[in-house]
Amino acid sequence: MSTEQMPLGFPGIHYVEAQVGRTITGPFAIKLAHAADILALARPTKTIRVDSSGAGTYKAGFTRTPGATMLYLSWWYRAGNSSGDQLSVELTVTDGVTIVGPVSTKIPTAFQGNLTSTIMADAAPINPARMVMGGDGWIVLDDSANGLASVLTASDDWSFSFVITAAAAAYVDHIEGFEVPRGTISDADAAGSLAGPFSPGNAITAGSITTDGWERLMATVQAAIAAPPEYLSLTWPANITATVPKTSSAAFVPLTNLEESAGVATVFRVRVRPMTVVAPPGTAAGEAARFRVLYYVAGGGTAEVQIKTGATGSPYAVAGLTGAAWAWSAWTACALPTDGTDQVARLTFEAKTSAGTVYVAAIVVEGVAL
């Protein structure tokens, strides 16, 4: 096994170096290897975010980027009228079958439900934002001995459940998490192109995806393409009595509590990343994407939730949602257009139910590698 340090910064790749008929040189190959490594291993895209969190349970969907090995997680609070109020955040992670946490070596101590006393009061704020970190930690994502993927094997789609306990006027301002870029490249991993074999004087070989060479470089490029972007991740309390998006309409309408004004759905603007030549910038055909929701249907009805993206095939609906318990829907294919100004797409959500009320506590929209 060989390892190298991840390069700092993206290399400059010039068209003249890649012209047909020119001699391939070591420096050009090294730059290609560095570029592939950064795109595949140093730019993971998935995040976790929960905002304005009072006491209750919040669930965030998470599907890790292929090759991502670590997740950094932290929670932040604001105090009320006195110091010493107590807060705790308890995390469990599940693949739909196995549950990890909260008391587990795979879960950071700050997310094991341990009480934290706030340290500031209104009379003497520590900073103008009046926000303090309550705790943070690192989660191993891969299938190593202490990694989540070693036990969460039923599905690649995981659900992070945060149970927040708050005393008095204190509350958790937000929870945030992000995949951590890789610091090293190893030929023992599924992706990662070592630059050493391309050094001047070494033979240029095709190799294979398991040995150093051009085929492994191309496998690393494919790994970069297979790291789809996250476009949207929204979370509300998993509680039907809370102020969460909902509707009892039998026809598609904007969800109550997710409206800009009465009957006008909230618009989420996302910049679409061109990933394939199937839908180049400037077309309404759209880049491939998918979405899913965390739902609850009270009253025995069958519900649907749809996303409007502005792409040629929009809107797209996930149907057949039933059950008076919080559950994740299946992924539903959709497309995001690339013909918007600055390649920005406008996303809105509507829902309907045949009876009762449908509630939504989380939405995830992400790209798909073709």
- DSSP-assigned letter for residue 41: H
Greater confidence (44 vs 152) lies with 152
Residue 234 lies in a domain: no
Q: How many distinct structural domains can be found in the chain? A: 3
Most distant CA atoms of the chain, gap in Å: 73
Q: Do 173 and 187 share a domain, yes or no?
A: no
Q: Do 132 and 201 share a domain, yes or no?
A: no
Task: State the Cα–Cα distance between residues 193 and 217, nearest whole angstrom.
Answer: 5
Greatest mean pLDDT range, 34-43, 74-83, 269-278, 311-320: 311-320
Task: State the Cα–Cα distance between residues 340 and 347, nearest whole angstrom.
Answer: 12
Residue 119 lies in a domain: yes
Tell me: the pLDDT tens digits for 221-254?
A: 888 887 888 999 999 999 999 999 999 999 999 9
Residue 232 lies in a domain: no
Tell me: the pLDDT tens digits for 172-188?
A: 889 999 999 888 888 77
Task: State the Cα–Cα distance between residues 227 and 188, nearest whole angstrom.
Answer: 19
Its domain, for residue 290, covers: 240-367
Residue 235 lies in a domain: no
Give the pLDDT score at 356.
98
* Domain CATH code at residue 138: 2.60.120
Task: State the Cα–Cα distance between residues 10 and 31, nearest whole angstrom.
Answer: 9
Q: Do 37 and 57 share a domain, yes or no?
A: no
Residue 233 lies in a domain: no
Q: Do 246 and 334 share a domain, yes or no?
A: yes
Tell me: the pLDDT tens digits for 282-336?
A: 788 888 999 999 999 999 999 999 999 999 999 999 999 999 999 999 999 999 9
Instruction: Provide the whole-model pTM.
Output: 0.87
299: which residues sit within 8 A by CB, 6+ positions away?
Answer: 248, 353, 355, 356, 357
Give the pLDDT score at 128.
55
- How many C-beta atoms surround the C-beta of residue 166 within 10 A? 20
Task: State the Cα–Cα distance between residues 19 and 16, nearest whole angstrom.
Answer: 5
Residue that the structure tokens 């949207």 belong to: 232
